[in-house]
Structure 1
């Protein structure tokens, strides 16, 4: 298929043609005719003169609904009506005069100037039409390679030499159809995005409901446990709360993503709809870049997270494997010889203590002088701590924890007010928690291995029978004011032994 390149001689409107590989001779001849007439109408001098003729001398704007008066001058209908109304509002009886030549005229002489109104409409169309920024010519051609509308002079420039060309009026419908197809696609994506936003809100409500149900389950189960299990409940709930916050944050982030995408889709749709309403030249200006940027826009659907809480407590394990749970916090406790009463005898590994005859020991301000007591070497100020004491078949002892600075030089009953949290076994009164007053403990089975659990931040001290895995007693919540140390009081024929961690008897 052959084509021609158009060359128009300035000033004459005549055209000569030579072969061009992209446009047919018939199309370019037609274009030449259009260009010649367009040049005549859109020339700067002619346009300026027409604009002067069409400008109202009263408001200095292009006339709106122009009317002519008796002398032949034309004005905006509204402008001339204002002059008539102002004159009518005065007491003067003189006739209205033309604002340009002062010729008198009557209201009845006003005539609509249809030809001038058509000229004004043409001028407005010329104003709206996009022209070549370099040559000031109308953009008749569309360069397929550069994706831009160009004028006939641009077509002959080196910048566009050898490029594929088409008439703007030929390619305009196709590109407009492509843009409208993208708008349709984006609207479908937006509708789907709105649907997902509704589902997302339902997911958040369901997630809140599931979390609340799980919280109620955990609380109901943990109410059946005592003391240590209360601490475990709080630990589980903290983990559940953290899980809730983390997943809820992800759900809200997912919702925010959908809201953002919806807004972006709305902006793209409005942008493309406005572009589709533009003139052919404006629509085609940068249309390939617009298509490239927007044709692949697709809703990014965030991954659906699981709405089933992952924090699950195995209550059967909590009930029947208490020892295993406590041993997670077990520490190794040894006896401090510098605190031992003179009647107490410590084994070489300092894990066993018995009571015998008074022994000569070097002086220490840390030593107990009135009561047959000894402290553990380890001090506790934070966290959870657990240690075990083998009491065997002994008939009398006291064990627990105490503040490091308790009095050691006088006889007294250990109690929380004095810095002691301990339980006691005596032949007359049996097992007692040394509260104030003491609390008798009715134990079904005699414990041989005692467990002591300390939760420093929670202010709890609990005791367990580790032969059965059962809870014995927990002191009321306290606020510890210093370092706590293991505390032991030993009677005759009732030795105490501190087994290493993870050993059982």
Structure 2
């Protein structure tokens, strides 16, 4: 808001006031409406500069209407002859003529307003909650139309009439309805707070800079409003940006939770599988333990049964002899007695039972031995089951590979589908391009990888020598090569049919079951991991950990020389069998 002090009076520059309505020429003033006695809306007759009913209204070239005294005084105090509404400049200064049409309309309005004052108030509405009520109304408080900074009073349309018609009140400063008008006035100078002191961050009146805020940095309240409003828009944009960032963070966290849940479900399933297998192994060991105990008990019972049966048989024979002795004792025939005595006296062959006994089997250490055996068994079973579950997990990262003939050593022979390679006895005449191996029987896959995870399987059945793994794309492919991570090779090999090594520099001997037929290779690029599996037995053969790749990786194959047919079987890239 810009204030001008002219002849000790404060007037308003209306470049910040939105006019209620000044397009009077568009209003159709008919005699029928006048005859009906209908009073027009007050806003249609207000000058946007003094906010009062037009006095000697004039129309300037841009079409806007003002009181003649208002626009004349405005142009007298400004070098540029601009319209206060649209800011259009005029040169030279336009001549001002009273618009008789609008004057007649204003006069008619004044007459009707004086004769029918209740009509204006009848169309007004009572102040609703949140709206500023009229300070003059008694009974029902009507809605405030304007607040006066001089009277410190808010007026409805009816009670505002004196400020629009009386010359003394027309100079009062009217603003849009506000509450607590006292807060809009300087308590010291009793002037409207129209300036803003940037030094003290407070609103001040026009007289404050002279005494209390001397040499301070101050601006018009409107300018500060515009500046703070722009800053508020920036703050709002920043706030919305922060809200958006937090919403995205919520989505990120929710995705993380979902991924965590999926990982937890997967690990739970794997754990259930592992522990189920281990529990089954424990149950089998328990059953075997109980069977051993019962077997010993059954053996003891069988021995006792055999002894008892033999003893009962001897008792039966002894009873028979006892009967014969008893009968012979009662015999009075001397001849018969003497003849039978020798037979009866001779005892049948009997076992000596003095040193024979059934001893309970010893169970000392049986439980300990069973637990120890179970521990060893569980350790092996755990490795097998855990690695088996791990192998199933990494197999989901299977990639479809084909061999790259442009990298093949000239002695190598590829299948038509580029899935198999073996060593031939004849060296082919091939161009020595930069990609081709020239000193070792090696070949690379066409596919390269520089992120994430991948897995593939190779059949090595029937071979006595081979190399498998992954290599950096930038490796040296000419002449003899040394297989180790320092040179960009992460491989394992077989030599002489049973010598397995990891080319870790120095080489690491591997314990691999004989008859290895299929090797799985898994790479986690981000984790720096290269692992090799015995697919058929689900056993981890070896892992390179903490690898630093920093380049594309390519699968690497070497079927090794033919050796007169003893190593003629091919290396075969096979699809993963998920059954």
- So what's the TM-score if we normalise by structure 1? 0.39
- Structure with max Cα Rg: 2
- So what's the TM-score if we normalise by structure 2? 0.35
Q: Taking CA–CA contacts closer than 8 Å with sequence separation of 6 or more, which of the two structures ends up with the larger relative contact order?
A: 1
